[in-house]
């Protein structure tokens, strides 16, 4: 099994921000409330930093739940679910169900994306129009296969949680705690943001991520119904009858569009 390691979960894990949008600029940005808002920068089923993982096929369901408490006692809760498939060659298919937007005439739909590092392309499939948008994956980096680890920030502490069975698989855990000192962003008291991540030792993907940020609420990601077996090969090719068009819609397109693919093996 060959694994290309880049940045670890850089802006991790892929569609939709927290209900209130991204955190403000300054300290804490992208660590707490925006953790899952950075999903466009990663691919479900890819390894650390969007790495291609071969020889470890599986299928699973990813569920992300967000809860935010408002000052008037009201609460905002959202839940998204995505089916994820990865074959032994590192090809990935995601199927994300998107509800209709409130007040709009559109219907609920499913966004299907295929990341093919073997062929070097990403496909976004639209079952209603039978169109597949094709765009090239980023080229493999030259030189070293891994970036050096970034220096440890003084306001972030890391705790090794060891090994445990999470959602039926063996995983290693890490807890990161960021402390924003009083007055740093206009806060009267210090703010602590905690993120706990469990990564499957065999599959090389997170199976659980929990983030608690008093500014934005909590975000929980769970990878469940994990089946460590080779999915059907038909899931990773554009079905017959589809028209292939060049060029993806990019980050400005609909939810689920514009995710980068895993980097091809070097």
Predicted confidence (pLDDT) per residue in 142-183, tens digit: 444 545 556 667 689 999 999 999 999 999 999 999 999 999
Q: List the strands of the sheet with 109-116, edge to edge.
A: 156-166, 169-180, 191-200, 206-213, 217-227, 58-69, 75-86, 92-98, 109-116, 121-126, 131-136, 243-246
Taking the C-alpha atoms of residue 261 and residue 115, their distance in angstroms, rounded to an integer, is 6
Give pLDDT, residue 150: 60
Residue in the block written with tokens 């065999």: 202
Contact 255, 106 (CB under 8 A): no
Give pLDDT, residue 18: 28
Residue 26 DSSP symbol = S
Q: Is the pLDDT of residue 56 over 70?
A: yes
Give pLDDT, residue 250: 41
Stretch 122-129: mean pLDDT: 92
pLDDT band for 128, please (50, 70, 90 cuts). confident
- C-alpha closest to that of 242 among 116, 135, 123: 123
Percent of the chain with pLDDT over 90: 55
Give pLDDT, residue 109: 77
Contact 262, 119 (CB under 8 A): no
- Domains of the chain, start order: 36-246 (2.50.20)
Higher pLDDT pick, 41 / 61: 61
Higher pLDDT pick, 51 / 151: 51
H or E stretch at 109: strand 109-116
Q: What is the pLDDT of residues 130-148, one digit of tens each?
A: 999 999 988 755 444 545 5
Stretch 192-208: mean pLDDT: 95
pLDDT band for 43, please (50, 70, 90 cuts). low
CA-to-CA separations, 229 to 24, 126, 172, 175, 217, in angstroms, rounded: 42, 27, 21, 29, 36
pLDDT band for 265, please (50, 70, 90 cuts). very low
Contact 180, 193 (CB under 8 A): yes
Q: Which of 34-43, 50-59, 146-155, 182-191 has the lowest mean pLDDT?
A: 34-43
Q: How many residues does the chain have?
A: 266
Give pLDDT, residue 158: 93
Residue 140, by phi and psi: left (phi above 0), alpha (psi -120 to 50) or beta? Answer: beta
Give pLDDT, residue 253: 37
* Cβ contacts of 262 within 8 Å, gap of 6 or more: 43, 45, 46, 47, 50, 51, 52, 53, 90, 92, 115, 117, 137
Q: What is the mean pLDDT of the chain?
A: 77
Integer-rounded Cα Rg, in Å, for the chain is: 19
Stretch 237-266: mean pLDDT: 62
Q: What is the pLDDT of residues 87-97, one digit of tens each?
A: 999 999 999 88
């Amino acid at each position: 099994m060959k694994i290309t390691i880049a940045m670890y979960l850089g802006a991790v894990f892929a569609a939709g921000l927290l209900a209130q949008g991204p955190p403000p600029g300054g300290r804490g940005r992208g660590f707490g409330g925006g953790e899952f808002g950075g999903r466009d920068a990663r691919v479900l089923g890819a390894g650390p930093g969007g790495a291609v993982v071969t020889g470890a096929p599986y299928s699973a369901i990813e569920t992300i739940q967000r809860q935010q408490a408002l000052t008037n006692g009201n609460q905002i809760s959202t839940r998204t679910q995505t089916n994820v498939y990865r074959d032994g060659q590192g090809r990935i298919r995601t199927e994300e169900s998107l509800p209709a937007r409130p007040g709009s005439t559109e219907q609920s739909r499913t966004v299907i994306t295929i990341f093919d590092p073997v062929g070097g392309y990403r496909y976004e499939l639209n079952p209603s129009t039978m169109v597949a948008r094709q765009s090239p994956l980023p080229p493999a980096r030259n030189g070293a296969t891994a970036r050096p680890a970034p220096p440890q920030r003084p306001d972030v502490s890391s705790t090794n949680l060891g090994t445990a069975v999470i959602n039926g698989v063996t995983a290693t855990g890490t807890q990161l705690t960021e402390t924003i000192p009083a007055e740093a962003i206009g806060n009267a008291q210090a703010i602590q943001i905690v993120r706990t991540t469990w990564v499957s030792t065999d599959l090389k993907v997170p199976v659980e991520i929990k983030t608690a940020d008093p500014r934005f609420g909590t975000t929980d990601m769970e990878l469940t119904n994990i089946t460590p077996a080779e999915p059907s090969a038909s899931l990773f090719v554009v079905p017959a009858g589809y028209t292939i068009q060049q060029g993806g819609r990019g980050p400005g397109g609909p939810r689920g569009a514009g995710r980068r693919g895993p980097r091809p093996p070097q």
